[in-house]
């Protein structure tokens, strides 16, 4: 198995960094776009990202991972699957953008969040932090005892997300920043 620094370099080479005119999820206009979905839907890149995030989670003693659907889905699945293989199982959950329209009407899918679990919110790309904050709010509404210890991102675009999350009382750690990719 490759070392974390080697996986990080291989992952960097697989990130889709596009130039052009783009409107981001935050509504901001940008002359570049980092496509986290195409990156995390490549088997090698997803494997590298999941292994790096698992290493970060071990360092932070975190035991639960979740995030807002769609950008976090592939990462959550890979992290939970690989965590079992390395003998340190981590449960996952997915936060819906809208409550489930039938059945229980839940915002969160996955095993119940229990007191004492140290939770990481995962993102593919952070711009303003808005998606991570939505996920944090939904988790806190659904489980008052939730212990969210941080947000991890594949890439931080350096557009204010870290400050917004810090103002929210949550730290942001990313594998890369925009500056690493330019």
Output the pLDDT for position 54.
Answer: 98
| 162, 15 Cβ separation under 8 angstroms | no
Output the pLDDT for position 131.
Answer: 95
Higher pLDDT, 163 or 102: 163
80-122 pLDDT, tens digit each: 999 999 999 999 999 999 887 787 778 999 999 988 899 999 9
Cα 84 to the center of its chain, rounded Å: 19
Question: What global pTM score does this model have?
Answer: 0.95
**Phi–psi pair at 28, nearest 5 degrees:** -70, 150
Biggest distance spanned by C-alpha atoms of the chain: 46
pLDDT range class, residue 29, cuts 50, 70, 90: very high
Output the pLDDT for position 100.
Answer: 75
DSSP letters, 53-113, are HHHHHHHTT--EEEEETTTTHHHHHHHHHHHHHTT---EEEEE-SS--SSTT--SEESSPP
Output the pLDDT for position 28.
Answer: 87
């Amino acid at each position: 198995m490759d070392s974390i620094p080697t996986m990080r370099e291989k992952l960097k080479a697989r990130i889709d960094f596009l130039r052009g005119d783009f409107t981001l999820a935050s509504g901001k206009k940008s002359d570049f776009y980092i496509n986290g979905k195409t990156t995390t839907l490549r088997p090698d890149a997803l494997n590298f990202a999941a292994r790096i995030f698992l290493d970060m989670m071990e360092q932070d003693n975190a035991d639960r991972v979740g995030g807002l659907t769609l950008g976090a889905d592939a990462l959550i699945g890979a992290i939970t699957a690989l965590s079992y293989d390395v003998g340190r199982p981590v449960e996952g959950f997915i936060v819906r953008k809208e409550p489930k329209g039938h059945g229980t009407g839940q915002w969160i899918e996955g095993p119940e969040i229990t007191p004492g679990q140290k939770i990481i919110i995962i993102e593919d790309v952070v711009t303003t932090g808005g998606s991570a904050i939505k996920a944090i709010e939904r988790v806190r509404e659904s489980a008052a005892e939730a212990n969210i210890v941080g947000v991890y991102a594949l890439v931080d675009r350096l557009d204010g997300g870290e400050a917004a999350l810090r103002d929210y009382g949550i730290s942001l750690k990313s594998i890369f920043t925009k500056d690493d990719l330019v």
